[in-house]
Copies of this chain bind each other. A is one copy, B any other.
Amino acid sequence: MQPQPPAPEGPWGEVDSATSRRLLGAAVEAFGERGFHATTTRDIARRAGLSPAGLYVHYRSKSALLGHLSRVGHAAALRLVEHALSLPGDSPRRLHALVTAFVAWHAEHHTVARIVQYELRSLDAEDAREVAAMRRRLEGLVEAEVRRGVDAGTLSTQHPHQATRAVLSLGIDVARWYSPAGRESPARLGRIYADLALRMLSAEPPAPARLDDQETV
């Protein structure tokens, strides 16, 4: 199983028919703008250049379309993480590459990422199970790398689990606020955030003056 670099041309290169691809693109736009529940199947169909009924030839239901989208999006994010963690070097290097790519992806594909990260509630039971497994796997992979770094002495944190959450939060939250109208490019944002993430995990503890917390429970 060789590490695959993330597909360059967007998250769904291999989706079956051209019409299915148009529907996925239309759904991304619509769900991204208004959210899943506020989007009508008519709106999706219209954006894809189809009649209201046309959608149902390709998808069993509106939520089946969301499910497909969510699975494809999660697979892309997971692939990107696996690729970064397969790079040579030490844990700081791999995590720097990981955050760079993870943040850049959430900025570049912020519309898809918003659906991936914020529409989990609307998934059908089966899709929800599959997606939850992918999410657990992604977080587990990153946490394992953090723990390897701590064990090797190249990273330092007393709370690997929470630090992992924090690192991923930086990337995920980008999807919430990012706008291409803003000043920074996805790539630049990725580098800035990767530097910040490494400072959180750095082996040289900056020992910030312990301030107002007497005890650390």
Residues of A within 8 A of B (CB): 34-35, 37-38, 89, 92-93, 96-97, 100, 117-118, 121-122, 159, 162-163, 165-166, 169-170, 172-174, 176-177, 184-185, 187-189, 191-196, 198-200, 202-209, 211-213, 216-217
* Contact status B216-A92, CB under 8 Å: no
Given A35-B37, A96-B211, A211-B93, are A159 and B198 neighbors across the interface (CB < 8 Å)?
Answer: no
Q: In the assembly, how many copies of this chain are there? A: 2
Q: List 17 A-B contacts (CB under 8 A).
A: A35-B122, A89-B211, A92-B208, A118-B118, A162-B189, A166-B196, A169-B174, A169-B177, A187-B217, A191-B217, A194-B213, A199-B200, A199-B208, A202-B206, A202-B208, A203-B206, A204-B204
Nearest B residue to A154 by beta-carbon distance?
Answer: B209
* Contact status B162-A212, CB under 8 Å: no
For the complex formed, measure the closest distance between the CB of A155 and the CB atoms of chain B, giving whole angstroms. Answer: 9
Given A37-B35, A217-B188, are A212 and B121 neighbors across the interface (CB < 8 Å)?
Answer: no
Given A196-B200, A200-B200, A206-B199, are A97 and B162 neighbors across the interface (CB < 8 Å)?
Answer: no
